[in-house]
């Protein structure tokens, strides 16, 4: 079968790293006899905004629904369009309309990359943050009354539905069950948030009874944040509500070195709609146009996409190529400046693509 991929480079370095990602994907597909078909779109970008006054064409949903996955660069160019307009006008539309209810961020300390945490070696840090991506604390239920008076009052509710909580928990347990350590950690705060978080804990325990092989524990979010920094080696899969997961999924990659290599996926596990694969970083206006952006975050996203499309061996091969090139260090591979090398985006992308072919 042919997998159809919608490619959306977006803005800034998105346009530089996406071609490197596509080349690496193509090489991996060739190696494993897979057929990938790429169609590129210019929307979800400041250029598109300047031409059309909107971030997306009116038929974007129909267009993108025809694809098996979306390979996304980065959106945002604040000197042309305000960030809340570009983000809400594109990426957040994709996540919500396509019900991409899992946000997945692997956190792995790669060979050749220095962790900001002292004394950590590759292998010490290798966990997966599973964030609920559609409800929870990020609801629009609430309001403001007595505005501008001393009685001014604001209220914003957390929304947890049984369907919404259970589906992300099931996904997290399944991920944990697939991994060698089979360990799932749940982020909670049921001591302080006395209605929604005990409910979350209850659903975790209930789902846990269906996965007897998975070792389950839970931490209050404050303690968990501290343990991410103090003992990142304790974790395997970490599942969290929307807000807690948002925080953990920035903290996790920060513990593993440069932003330039961190990938993420917005997934609809039901596969009714396409899932979206994007690096954690943004458009990086400070280095855009220089050809020195690290393409590894984007290429790693390609590996996650292959896994999602049902090709775990191809996904592992591509990730292995990234690790092999990183392991050569700045003296042996054209690593980009954020990895203390002097390589370019194209050179580093090419080295990984060659490694995919030769390994």
Q: What are phi and psi of 264, to 5 degrees?
A: -150, 160
Q: Which residues are at the interface with Mg ion (CB under 5 A)?
A: 246, 250
HSE-up of residue 138 (Cα within 13 Å, Cβ side): 16
Report the residue number, 34 or 129, with the smaller CB distance to ligand NAI: 129
**List 59, 213, 272, 286, residue binding ligand NAI (CB under 6 A):** 286
Spatial CB neighbours of 150, under 8 Å, sequence gap ≥ 6: none
State whether residue 308 is helix, strand or coil.
helix
206 binds ligand NAI (CB under 6 A): no
Confirm or reject binding of residue 78 to ligand NAI (CB under 6 A).
Answer: yes
Is 222 one of the annotated active-site residues of the chain? yes
Site for ligand NAI in 309-338 (CB under 6 A): 336, 338
**Known active-site residue 42:** no
Active site residue 47: no
Q: 259 near 280, Cβ under 8 Å?
A: yes
Residues in 255-284 at the binding interface with ligand NAI, rule: CB under 6 A:
259-260, 278, 281-284
Closest distance to ligand NAI from the beta carbon of 308 (Å): 18
Beta-bridge mates of residue 154: 144
Strand partners for 107:
127
CB 104 → Mg ion: shortest distance, Å? 14
Q: Which is nearer to ligand NAI, 172 or 348 (CB)?
A: 348
Chain centroid to CA 113:
19
Subset of residues 81 to 100 that bind ligand NAI, contact rule: CB under 6 A? 83, 87, 91
34 forms part of the interface with ligand NAI (CB under 6 A):
no
Shortest reach from residue 12's CB to ligand NAI, in Å: 7
266 touches which of ligand NAI, Mg ion, none (CB within 5 to 8 A by kind)?
none
Q: Judged by CB under 6 A, does residue 302 bind ligand NAI?
A: no
Choose the catalytic residue: 189, 218, 307, 338: 189
Task: Name the nearest CA neighbour of 295 among 258, 248, 252.
Answer: 258
What is each CA distance from 23 to 48, 239, 295, in whole angstroms? Answer: 24, 33, 11
By CB under 6 A, which span of 68-76, 105-113, 191-199, 304-312 interacts with ligand NAI? Answer: 68-76
**Catalytic one among 47, 99, 124, 138?**
138
DSSP state of 151: T
- Asked if 257 and 113 touch (Cβ cutoff 8 Å), the reply is yes
Q: Binders of ligand NAI among 131-170, rule CB under 6 A?
A: none
* Residue number, nearest CB to Mg ion: 246
Going from the C-alpha of 164 to that of each of 217, 264, 277, the distances in angstroms are: 21, 20, 21
Q: Which residues, 6+ apart, have CB-to-CB distance to 53 below 8 Å?
A: none
Choose among Mg ion, ligand NAI, none what residue 75 binds, the Cβ cut-off being 5 to 8 Å by kind.
ligand NAI
């Amino acid at each position: 079968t042919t997998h159809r991929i919608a490619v959306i480079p977006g803005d800034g370095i998105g346009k530089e790293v996406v071609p490197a990602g596509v080349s690496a994907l193509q090489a991996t597909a060739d190696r494993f006899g897979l057929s990938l078909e790429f169609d590129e779109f210019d929307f979800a970008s400041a250029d598109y905004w300047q031409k059309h006054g909107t971030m997306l064409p009116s038929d974007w949903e129909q267009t993108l629904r025809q694809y098996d996955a979306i390979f996304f660069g980065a959106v945002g160019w604040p000197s042309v369009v305000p960030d809340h307009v570009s983000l809400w006008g594109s990426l957040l539309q994709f996540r919500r309309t396509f019900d991409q209810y899992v946000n997945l961020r692997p956190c792995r300390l790669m060979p050749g990359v220095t962790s900001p945490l002292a004394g950590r070696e590759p292998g010490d840090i290798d966990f997966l943050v599973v964030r609920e991506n559609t409800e929870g604390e990020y609801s629009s239920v609430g309001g403001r009354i007595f505005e501008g008076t001393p009685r001014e009052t604001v209220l914003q509710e957390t929304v947890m539905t049984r369907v919404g909580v259970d589906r992300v928990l099931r996904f997290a347990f399944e991920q944990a069950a697939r991994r060698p350590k089979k360990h799932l950690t749940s982020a909670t705060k049921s001591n302080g948030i006395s209605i929604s978080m005990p409910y979350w804990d209850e659903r975790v325990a209930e789902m846990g009874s269906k996965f007897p092989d998975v070792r389950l524990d839970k931490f209050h979010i404050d303690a968990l944040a501290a343990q991410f920094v103090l003992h990142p080696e304790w974790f395997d899969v970490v599942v969290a509500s929307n807000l807690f997961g948002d925080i953990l999924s920035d903290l996790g990659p920060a513990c593993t070195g440069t932003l330039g290599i961190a990938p993420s996926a917005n997934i609809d596990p039901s596969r009714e709609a396409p899932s979206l694969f994007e690096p954690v970083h943004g458009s990086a206006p400070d280095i855009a146009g220089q050809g020195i952006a690290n393409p590894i975050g984007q290429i790693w996203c390609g590996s996650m996409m292959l896994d999602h499309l049902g090709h775990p061996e191809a996904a592992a091969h591509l990730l292995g190529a990234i690790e092999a090139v990183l392991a050569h260090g700045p003296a042996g591979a054209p690593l980009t400046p954020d990895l203390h090398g002097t390589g370019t985006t194209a050179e580093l992308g090419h080295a990984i693509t060659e490694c995919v072919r030769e390994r």
